[in-house]
Copies of this chain bind each other. A is one copy, B any other.
Amino acid sequence: MTLSMYQASVPVFLSMLENLSNILSRAEADATERRIDPNIFLTARLAPDMFALARQVQIATDHAKGAPSRLAGREVPRYEDTEATFGELQARIEKTRNYLKTFEQKDIDGSEDRVIEIKGGGRLFSFSGAQYLLHYALPNFYFHVTTAYDILRHNGVDLHKRDFIGGS
């Protein structure tokens, strides 16, 4: 057995998005309990020029839907980026998880050497499928999921690393 491109992508995104969904549920419950306007969490950011929580969740799902699509040679589904409530963010995560479930092993396996081109910051990046997944999509995805967690922890939501890692 070797590691497959499917295994290194779809199940990783699926489980981390489930953890992110649970983290957001905890945050929403905490807002209710402490009588905090949920918008305060949704618009919270760690620095004035960093994205707020809602945008972090949007971008995390963008990488989760983008990576398997590009590896499989499918068009990346477009989302409107209009989510402004916990419920709408949860729906976006759920939609992304359902989309991820449409991929089968064979759709993604063998994409190690597929040429993937990404536009970012006015530049065009060209990767092999393996480089794209391991050195671009996954680090970006983890960056935004972690930062969503960090924003909530900074705002006093009672979360633990196991909520981020999941599986316990």
Chain A interface residue count: which class? 35 or more
Contact among B112, B136, B143, B167 for A142, CB-based, below 8 A? B143
Contact among B1, B4, B11, B50 for A153, CB-based, below 8 A? B50
Determine the chain B residues whose CB is within 8 A of the CB of A77 once the complex forms: none
Nearest residue, chain B, Cβ from A6: B3
Check if B139 sits within 8 Å of A150, measured CB to CB: no
A134 is an interface residue with CB less than 8 A from chain B: yes
Most chain B C-beta atoms within 10 Å of own C-beta, residue among A2, A16, A109, A123: A2
Q: Once the chains are docked, how many angstroms separate the CA of A168 from the CA of B142? A: 19
Copies of this subunit: 2
Question: Nearest Cβ distance between residue A160 and chain B, in whole angstroms?
Answer: 9
Check if A2 sits within 8 Å of B138, measured CB to CB: no
- Interface 1/0 per residue, A155-168 and B, CB below 8 Å: 01000011011111
Determine the chain B residues whose CB is within 8 A of the CB of A4 once the complex forms: 2-3
A22 is an interface residue with CB less than 8 A from chain B: no
Q: Identify which of residues 35-67 in chain A touch chain B, using a CB-to-CB cut-off of 8 Å.
A: 46-47, 50
Known: A15-B135, A46-B154. 19 other contacts (CB 8 A): A2-B109, A3-B3, A3-B5, A7-B130, A8-B8, A11-B134, A16-B139, A46-B150, A47-B153, A47-B154, A47-B156, A121-B162, A121-B168, A135-B165, A135-B166, A140-B165, A143-B164, A146-B147, A154-B154
B-contacting residues of A (Cβ < 8 Å)?
A: 1-5, 7-8, 11-12, 15-16, 46-47, 50, 109, 112-113, 121, 123, 130, 134-136, 138-140, 142-143, 146-147, 149-150, 153-154, 156, 161-162, 164-168
